[in-house]
Amino acid sequence: MLILVTNDDGIHSPGLQALAGSLGDLGRVVVVAPDRERSAVSHSLTLHAPLRAEEVAPGHFAVDGTPTDCVNLGLHGLLAERPALVVSGINRGGNMGDDITYSGTVAAAMEATLMGVPAIAVSLEAAAFTYEDFLPAAAVAAELATAMLTHRLPADTLLNVNVPAGPSRGVRLTRQGKRRYGDLVVEKVDPRGRKYYWIGAGGAGFVDQPGTDFHAVHHGFVSVTPLHLDLTNYRSFAALSAWNFSGWSQDSGLGTIEPGAL
Ligand code: MN
Would you list the DSSP string of 13-76?
-HHHHHHHHHHTTTSEEEEEEESS--TT-TT----SS---EEEEETTEEEESS-HHHHHHHIII
Q: How far away, in angstroms, is 255 Cα from ligand 1 center?
A: 40
- Domains for the chain: give ranges and CATH numbers: 2-177+208-231 (3.40.1210.10), 234-262 (no CATH)
Q: How far away, in angstroms, is 139 Cα from ligand 1 center?
A: 19
Residue type, 192: R
Tell me how many helices (H) and strands (E) the chain has: 6, 11
Residue 259 vs residue 27, higher pLDDT? 27
pLDDT tens, residue by residue, 12-61: 999 999 999 999 999 999 999 999 999 999 999 999 999 999 999 999 99
Q: Strand, coil or helix: what is 3?
A: strand
**Residue 86 main-chain phi, psi, to 5 deg:** -115, 130
User: CA 52 → CA 63, 134, 143, distances in Å?
Assistant: 6, 29, 33
Cα–Cα dist 225/176, whole Å: 7
Q: How far away, in angstroms, is 38 Cα from ligand 1 center?
A: 7
Cα–Cα dist 205/214, whole Å: 10
pLDDT tens, residue by residue, 120-145: 999 999 999 999 999 999 999 999 99
First CA to last CA across the chain, in angstroms? Answer: 36
How many beta carbons lie within 10 A of that of residue 53, not counting itself? 18
- How many CA atoms lie within 13 Å of 70's alpha carbon, on the beta-carbon side? 40
Q: How many residues can be counted in the chain?
A: 262
Q: How far away, in angstroms, is 156 Cα from ligand 1 center?
A: 24
Q: How far away, in angstroms, is 171 Cα from ligand 1 center?
A: 22
Instruction: Say which residues have a Cβ less than 8 Å from residue 118's Cβ, sequence separation at least 6.
Output: 84, 85, 86, 112, 148, 149, 152, 153, 158
Cα–Cα dist 188/51, whole Å: 36
Q: How far away, in angstroms, is 5 Cα from ligand 1 center?
A: 14
pLDDT at 67: 98
Q: Strand, coil or helix: what is 121?
A: strand
Q: How far away, in angstroms, is 88 Cα from ligand 1 center?
A: 10
State what percent of residues in the chain have pLDDT above 90: 81
User: CA 127 → CA 70, 169, 171, 221, distances in Å?
Assistant: 28, 18, 20, 16
pLDDT at 258: 62
pLDDT at 95: 97
Q: How far away, in angstroms, is 67 Cα from ligand 1 center?
A: 10
Q: Strand, coil or helix: what is 104?
A: helix
pTM: 0.93
Q: How far away, in angstroms, is 70 Cα from ligand 1 center?
A: 14
Q: How far away, in angstroms, is 165 Cα from ligand 1 center?
A: 16
pLDDT at 254 over 90: no
Strand residue runs (E) in 126-244: 158-164, 171-173, 186-189, 195-198, 222-227
Q: How far away, in angstroms, is 28 Cα from ligand 1 center?
A: 24
In this prediction, residues 97-104 reach a mean pLDDT of 95
Closest to 124 (Cα-Cα) out of 115, 134, 114, 116 = 134
